[in-house]
Amino acid sequence: MIRYSSSVEEVAALFVERIRSKLHPEAIELGLAALARRFGDDGFEKVGAVVYARFYGAEGEEEDELVGRQRFAAGLIQHLLDEI
C-alpha cells in the first residue's frame, strides 16, 4: 500500500473485487487469515509488525522508534482488514 501509493480503501477494494470474482478463494482466505494472525489483536507485538519495523528500521534505532513503526504496520493492516 505504502510502496505503491494506493490508499487502504483502494487496496481493500481490489481484495473485495477478487473475492467477488470467486477466483482462487482458498488462497485469498488463507492470505487474509495470515495477515490477521501476524498483525491482528495485540498487533504491534505480532511477528508481522516486528519484521516490518526491523526491515525498515536503522541500525541502533531507539526502542520508541521501533515500537512506533510496529504500531504503524499493525494499524495499517488492521485498517485494511476492517475495510475488506
| Every domain of the chain and the residues it spans | 8-83
Q: How confident is the model at residue 2 (pLDDT cuts 50, 70, 90)?
A: low
Tens digit of pLDDT for each residue in 27-52? Answer: 999 999 999 999 987 778 889 999 99
Confirm if 53 and 70 have CB atoms less than 8 A apart. Answer: yes
Whole-number Å distance between alpha carbons of 47 and 5: 24
Instruction: State the pLDDT at residue 3.
Output: 64
pTM recorded for the entire structure: 0.83
CA 73/CA 46 separation, integer angstroms? 10
User: Is the pLDDT score of 66 beyond 70?
Assistant: yes
Please give the pLDDT value at position 55. 92
